[in-house]
Amino acid sequence: MELKYKNQIVKVNEGTTGFDLLKILNVEGKGNVLVYKLNGELFDLATSLPNGGDFSFVTKDDAEAFALLNHDAAHLMAQAILSMYPKAKFGIGPDISEGFYYDIDFGDAIINDSDLAVIEARMLELSKADFRVMRQVVTKEKALEIFANNEYKIELIKEINERITIYSQGDFVDLCYGPHLPSTRYVQHFKLLSLAGAYWRGDSSRKQLTRIYGVAFFSKEALDKHLANLEEAKKRDHRKLGRELGLFMLSEYGPGFPFWLPKGMRLYHELEHWWIKKQREAGYEFVKTPQILSRELWETSGHWLNYRENMYTTLIDDRDFAIKPMNCPGSILIYNNGLHSYKDLPIRMAEHGHVHRHEPSGSLNGLFRVRSFTQDDAHIYCRKDQLQGEIKRLLKLYDEVYKTFDLSYHIELSTRPEKKFIGDIKTWNLSEKALAKACKASGIPFKINEGDGAFYGPKLDFKLRDSLGRIWQCGTIQLDMNLPERFDISYIDANNQKVRPIMLHRAVFGSIERFIGILIEHYAGAFPLWLAPTQIAILPVNNDAHLKHANSVVRKLEKEGFRVELDASNEKLGYRLRTSQVNKIPYTLVIGDKEQNDNLVTYRKFGAKDQITVPYREFIALIKREIRDKA
């Protein structure tokens, strides 16, 4: 058979393995090679090539390496646990974007955090033992025999209709599709991070297993850096900072429904007002649609069939209604409120729409996963000849917004879901090609995320990278040729014929609540001046001598439009300065004799030690420039 390897054609015999090819091709740095890739599919090095085609090796430096290593780490952890707890039964143990986990039934044994270090020590012993990882293809009957004492694996096996593969290392055997690294010695630098409860297959009616999370890297330096980032992330936790800075609160009276406190609302409004201005400049008109709409609407849109389990419903006048989980059907009703000519398009309709979606209680997480949130939504109705131009305009807008917050990003094209989707496959294929073409025309690289599109159309997902290097799913552009069809919307073309418009769904923040949560952690609560809930703190040195002038400064600054707080408490000046720093206020002004007598301002910036004295007007010009530049 023939292989295409680094622009050369290599002929090999049937039965040739990846290990054989390492020798045939005389590959340097063999120890860095993990698996091989053939026609886009990954295989163990010990596996014989099933056919010819495009061939390459995957090394520790490649994008797939982290997932491969962490999948092996999950198996190594399971092997260690089984050697310590022979009655343990294993569920599912995948790699995930942050590392790996395994769901385990420990039977009568009780596991706590102190046991993780002991399991780690056993993992290290097994890693040094350098067990070879062996793959075997077996029949369903044989697999059921091997895992006869594990009801979790039996359930999985019974659902498999294709070939069944098992992997073994030492005396440990697991049901797994693979691929895996050649031996256990590749997994040397790892950390078990936490314990959690997890219902088998996410079903709360079934047994709760113990989930152990961990992470692995190829070097100690990379692991140490990651663990340091995790510690920093704990300090930046938006729930912790939100409480300490008085931004928002959560209550058991409304799980998943955040309460915004006064300082949080200042931040919320500033962000929202800036974004509304930005959208108006981009040609959007704002609308508002009702919170509750009838079942018939949601049946027409497809939500009742495809999204019903996430919707809150109620009965009004003996009719079923639902609180809106999305804004798009309401936007379509507004579009249908009048006749439209081809000359009217594109119509860019924005709505900061408050939506409700039922999320499982176990998944709720501060502002990141809530049941009530506001989408910075917009729907664009355009002609086919306008589609590429509109997507390019959107890509430019997204870039400008994310750069304002110093957030880098990459784009993923999410394609048709395997099961729950509406419309015909031909329309889906055309829509996916249109999104890909627009990205290419804009010179923006993207990845394919198979099967993760919305049920009504493919989408571009924007993955943001924050100051700690963490990835967040935020903005999305969804191309929809299905809802216009279902709602029978149209415009009149130049030939006086009815034509179906293309609909684009767009959200840049995604959810304003979630985006604020990301910003809290991105900035560690120290917001740039233009966003900060309190921009300036005023501290009189002595209330008897300086409070009157301090109040005058507060009034003048407030008239200039700044958000100001006066701290005239009886605490010592040093204590009040520290309090201002703890509250992460960008500027702290100290008012003493010279400031009062000479119309000066002495300020300290957040995080700085030095105090700087300047004329009042110079200070005003300084902070206005900082706000204007979004520094």
Residue 382 catalytic? no
Domains in the chain, please, with CATH? 2-59 (3.10.20.30), 65-235 (3.30.980.10), 263-289+328-522 (3.30.930.10), 536-628 (3.40.50.800)
pLDDT(455) > 80: no
Q: Say what the pTM is.
A: 0.82
pLDDT at position 456: 74
pLDDT at position 423: 77
Please give the helix or strand (H or E) that residue 232 lies within, else none.
helix 220-236
Q: How far apart are the first and last CA of the chain?
A: 60
Among 263, 266, 357, 371, the one annotated catalytic: 357
pLDDT(324) > 90: yes
**CB of 120 closer than 8 Å to CB of 113:** no
pLDDT at position 483: 87
For residue 618, how many other CB atoms are within 10 A of its CB?
Answer: 11
pLDDT at position 555: 96
Query: What value does the CA radius of gyration of the chain take, rounded to a whole number of Å?
Result: 29
C-alpha–C-alpha distance, residues 305 and 322, integer Å: 13
pLDDT(539) > 90: yes
pLDDT digits (tens, 9 = 90+) for 11-69: 989 999 999 999 998 888 888 999 999 999 999 999 999 999 999 999 999 989 999 99
Among 377, 461, 480, 567, the one annotated catalytic: 377
Please give the helix or strand (H or E) that residue 300 lies within, else none.
helix 295-301
pLDDT digits (tens, 9 = 90+) for 107-134: 989 899 999 999 999 999 999 999 999 9
Each as own residue / partner, the long-range contacts of residues 241-249 (CB below 8 Å, 24 or more positions apart, any chain) are 241/520, 241/521, 241/524, 241/525, 242/366, 242/367, 242/517, 242/520, 244/525, 244/582, 245/525, 245/533, 245/583, 245/584, 247/516, 247/520, 247/533, 248/367
More confident position, 480 or 145: 145
Helices and strands (DSSP H and E) totals, the chain:
19, 33
Please give the helix or strand (H or E) that residue 605 lies within, else none.
strand 600-605
pLDDT digits (tens, 9 = 90+) for 491-520: 999 999 999 999 999 999 999 999 999 999
State the pLDDT confidence band at 604, using cuts at 50, 70 and 90: very high
pLDDT at position 333: 97
Residue 235 catalytic? no
Residues 6+ apart with CB under 8 A from 421: 306, 428, 453, 455, 456
Among 191, 324, 379, 576, the one annotated catalytic: 379
pLDDT(428) > 90: no
Among 79, 191, 328, 393, the one annotated catalytic: 328
Residue 379 catalytic? yes
pLDDT digits (tens, 9 = 90+) for 238-254: 999 999 999 999 999 99
pLDDT at position 418: 81
pLDDT at position 431: 83
pLDDT digits (tens, 9 = 90+) for 581-599: 999 999 999 999 999 999 9
pLDDT digits (tens, 9 = 90+) for 249-284: 999 999 999 999 999 999 999 999 999 999 999 999
Residue 357 catalytic? yes
Tokens representing 6? Answer: 């680094």
More confident position, 481 or 312: 312
pLDDT(532) > 90: yes
Among 263, 459, 522, 546, the one annotated catalytic: 459
State the pLDDT confidence band at 358, using cuts at 50, 70 and 90: very high
Please give the helix or strand (H or E) that residue 234 lies within, else none.
helix 220-236
C-alpha–C-alpha distance, residues 70 and 218, integer Å: 10
pLDDT at position 362: 79
C-alpha–C-alpha distance, residues 413 and 447, integer Å: 6
Mean pLDDT (the chain) is 93
Residue 474 catalytic? no
Residue 459 catalytic? yes
pLDDT at position 527: 97
Q: Kindly give the interhelix angle for 387-404 and 262-281, rounded to the nearest 10 degrees.
A: 140
Q: Kindly give the interhelix angle for 65-84 and 114-128, rounded to the nearest 10 degrees.
A: 110
Please give the DSSP secondary-structure letter assigned to residue 133.
P
pLDDT digits (tens, 9 = 90+) for 466-482: 888 888 989 999 888 78
Among 266, 393, 416, 505, the one annotated catalytic: 505
Among 79, 169, 279, 375, the one annotated catalytic: 375
pLDDT(208) > 90: yes
> Taking residues 148-162, what's their average pLDDT?
93
